[in-house]
């Protein structure tokens, strides 16, 4: 199949819910992707933060191939040794006390499970979420997601969710009632533009939860597994949530969502109250085991911290060079560049030049690269961003002169 046919077929038969980029990706290796015409791209999207250890890792291929040849499905009502191996690994890396896991298939499912655990354990309905927060698009998770565009067409959503201004401790305190089960928050807001919390926020939030008996759910679907410079972003602040949601990068590209919780909270769910046919699939578990091994062995969180600092420094040099750059921010290798202009053009131009980057809303260029990138890769991306920003700024200047 050629590029044109692939695009035509996808456009014809796939529900049009994705903002498609005009590229057909067919192969990946390390930090590079290739399109159907053989063009090579340096990938700083990590496929939306999924490919944390790079593409086509031999360890992940070997582990999944071995499992494929032994057993593909194994429902949660049976036992399986690969799943057991993953559960042990999770228990070893999990924040202290989060000893029980539910295995699902995506980030939104990890959040659904967290919401159900919180409601069941506390016997209360209310969930407080942050303005700007993103937690997924199934009905429960969507009810915690902030963006009006995602919510409005699907009203009425799940009742008893409310949003408070992010990082506003006073407003959070005021929002808590005797019916509040939990507060849900991303450690760093991803989809709404890489918003890093002020120092002390999560410590205060933990304190409020401790004082009121309200559960703290941290959604680490995007921040987890080393992305921000710690295995879990909550470790930056020495805060342990009651429930922790993971997905995206945890299985190196295979679909896995994990809800980690304290024993008594997870155990409040009874047999049959929350299950998934595919959840805990052995092939996916094998991929997750191999991915976790790589993250630990190659100290990817430390690498993310070091390279994130380097990348932020380089991007801040661009900020001082171009007026259209409003702010550069991030934690580890979760980085956003907020522009005073729409980012779509910037992203498409970078793609033309062989670099893939993401957006986060209208004005933020987002970087979620594999954590195995090198300083040289960062320099390449910074050079391309420099060229693209210069082009965009000059275009603006020319149009303001001609007006
Ligand atoms: C913080 C957060 N939670 C939940 C989700 C939903 O994950 P999924 O798309 O796997 O359902 C995302 C996806 O971007 C996310 O960033």
Q: Which atom of ligand 1 is the closest one to the Cα of 141?
A: 4
pTM of the model: 0.97
Q: Which atom of ligand 1 is the closest one to the Cα of 48?
A: 14
CA 210 to chain centre: 27
Q: Which atom of ligand 1 is the closest one to the Cα of 257?
A: 10
What is the pLDDT at residue 398? 87
For atom 8 of ligand 1, which residue has the closest CA?
107
The dihedrals phi and psi of 200, each to the nearest 5 degrees, come to 95, -10
**How are the residues of the chain apportioned to helix, strand and coil, as percentages rounded to the nearest 5?**
45, 20, 40
Scanning the structure block, which residue is given the tokens 């979420």? 129
Give yes or no for a contact between 63 and 89, defined as CB atoms under 8 angstroms apart.
Answer: no
Long-range CB contact pairs, 33-42, < 8 A, 24+ = 33/356, 35/3, 36/1, 36/2, 36/3, 36/6, 37/3, 39/354, 40/354, 41/351, 41/354, 41/355, 41/356, 42/354, 42/355, 42/356, 42/377, 42/380, 42/381
Q: Which atom of ligand 1 is the closest one to the Cα of 255?
A: 10
Task: Compute, in angstroms, the gap from residue 381 CA to the centroid of ligand 1.
Answer: 25
CA gap 96, 63 in Å, rounded = 28
Helices (H), 14-79: 46-49, 58-70
What is the pLDDT at residue 401? 80
What is the pLDDT at residue 296? 98
| Residue among 47, 49, 222 to mutate when testing ligand 1 (max atoms within 8 A of CB) | 222
Q: Which atom of ligand 1 is the closest one to the Cα of 133?
A: 1
| Residue among 106, 114, 134 to mutate when testing ligand 1 (max atoms within 8 A of CB) | 134
CA end-to-end span of the chain, whole Å?
Answer: 46
What is the pLDDT at residue 324? 97
Task: Compute, in angstroms, the gap from residue 371 CA to the centroid of ligand 1.
Answer: 19
Q: Which atom of ligand 1 is the closest one to the Cα of 190?
A: 16
The dihedrals phi and psi of 321, each to the nearest 5 degrees, come to -95, -35
Residues 6+ apart with CB under 8 A from 387: 353
CA gap 358, 289 in Å, rounded = 28
Give yes or no for a contact between 257 and 106, defined as CB atoms under 8 angstroms apart.
Answer: yes
Q: What kind and span of H or E run contains 42?
A: strand 40-43
What is the pLDDT at residue 57? 98
CA distances from 139 to 87, 121, 136 (A): 28, 20, 9
Task: Compute, in angstroms, the gap from residue 218 CA to the centroid of ligand 1.
Answer: 12
What is the pLDDT at residue 368? 98
Task: Compute, in angstroms, the gap from residue 108 CA to the centroid of ligand 1.
Answer: 6
| Spans of the chain, pLDDT less than 50 | none
Q: pLDDT digit string (tens) for 114-137?
A: 999 999 999 999 999 999 999 999
Query: Which one-letter DSSP state was computed for residue 76?
Result: T
What is the pLDDT at residue 402? 77
Residue 43, beta-bridge partner list: 356
Task: Compute, in angstroms, the gap from residue 12 CA to the centroid of ligand 1.
Answer: 26
Task: Compute, in angstroms, the gap from residue 106 CA to the centroid of ligand 1.
Answer: 7
Residues whose beta carbon lies within 6 Å of some atom of ligand 1:
106-108, 111, 134-136, 186, 190-191, 219, 221-222, 247
Task: Compute, in angstroms, the gap from residue 135 CA to the centroid of ligand 1.
Answer: 5
Give yes or no for a contact between 118 and 243, defined as CB atoms under 8 angstroms apart.
Answer: yes
What is the pLDDT at residue 71? 98
What is the pLDDT at residue 397? 84
Residues 6+ apart with CB under 8 A from 276: 76, 103, 104, 105, 109
Task: Compute, in angstroms, the gap from residue 48 CA to the centroid of ligand 1.
Answer: 9
Task: Compute, in angstroms, the gap from residue 191 CA to the centroid of ligand 1.
Answer: 9
CA gap 319, 345 in Å, rounded = 18
């Amino acid at each position: 199949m050629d590029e044109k046919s692939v695009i035509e077929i996808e456009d014809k038969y796939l529900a049009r819910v994705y903002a498609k980029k005009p590229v057909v990706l067919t192969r990946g290796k390390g930090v590079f992707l290739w399109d159907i015409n053989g063009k090579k791209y340096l990938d700083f999207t990590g496929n939306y933060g999924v490919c944390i250890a790079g593409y086509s890792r031999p360890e992940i291929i070997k582990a999944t191939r071995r499992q494929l040849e032994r057993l593909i499905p194994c429902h949660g009502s049976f036992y399986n040794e690969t799943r057991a191996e993953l559960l042990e690994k999770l228990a070893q890396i999990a924040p202290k006390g989060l000893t029980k896991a539910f295995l699902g298939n995506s980030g939104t499912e990890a959040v659904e499970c967290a919401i159900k655990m919180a409601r069941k354990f506390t016997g209360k309905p209310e969930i407080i979420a942050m303005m700007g927060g993103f937690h997924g698009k199934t009905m429960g998770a969507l009810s915690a997601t902030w963006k009006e565009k995602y919510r409005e067409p699907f009203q009425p959503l799940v009742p008893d969710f409310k949003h408070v201004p992010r990082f506003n401790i006073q407003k959070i305190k005021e929002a808590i009632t005797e019916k509040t089960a939990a507060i849900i928050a991303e450690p760093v807001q991803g989809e709404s533009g890489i918003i890093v919390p002020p120092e002390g926020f999560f410590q205060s939030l933990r304190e409020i939860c401790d004082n009121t008996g309200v559960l703290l759910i941290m959604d680490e679907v995007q921040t987890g597994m080393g992305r921000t410079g710690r295995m879990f972003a909550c470790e930056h602040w020495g805060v342990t949530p009651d429930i922790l949601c993971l997905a995206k990068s945890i299985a190196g590209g295979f679909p896995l969502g994990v809800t980690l919780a304290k024993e008594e909270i997870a155990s409040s769910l009874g047999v049959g109250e929350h299950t998934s046919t595919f959840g805990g699939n052995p092939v996916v578990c094998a991929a997750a085991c191999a991915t976790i091994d790589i993250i630990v062995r190659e100290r990817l969180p430390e690498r993310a911290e070091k390279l994130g600092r380097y990348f932020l420094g380089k991007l801040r040099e661009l900020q001082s060079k171009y007026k259209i750059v409003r702010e550069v921010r991030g934690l580890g290798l979760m980085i956003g560049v907020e522009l005073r202009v729409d980012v779509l053009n910037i992203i498409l131009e970078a793609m033309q030049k062989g670099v893939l980057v993401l957006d986060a809303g209208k004005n933020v260029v987002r970087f979620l690269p594999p954590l195995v990138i090198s300083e040289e890769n960062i320099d390449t991306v910074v050079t391309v961003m420099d060229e693209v920003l210069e082009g965009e700024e000059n275009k603006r200047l020319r149009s303001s002169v001609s007006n």
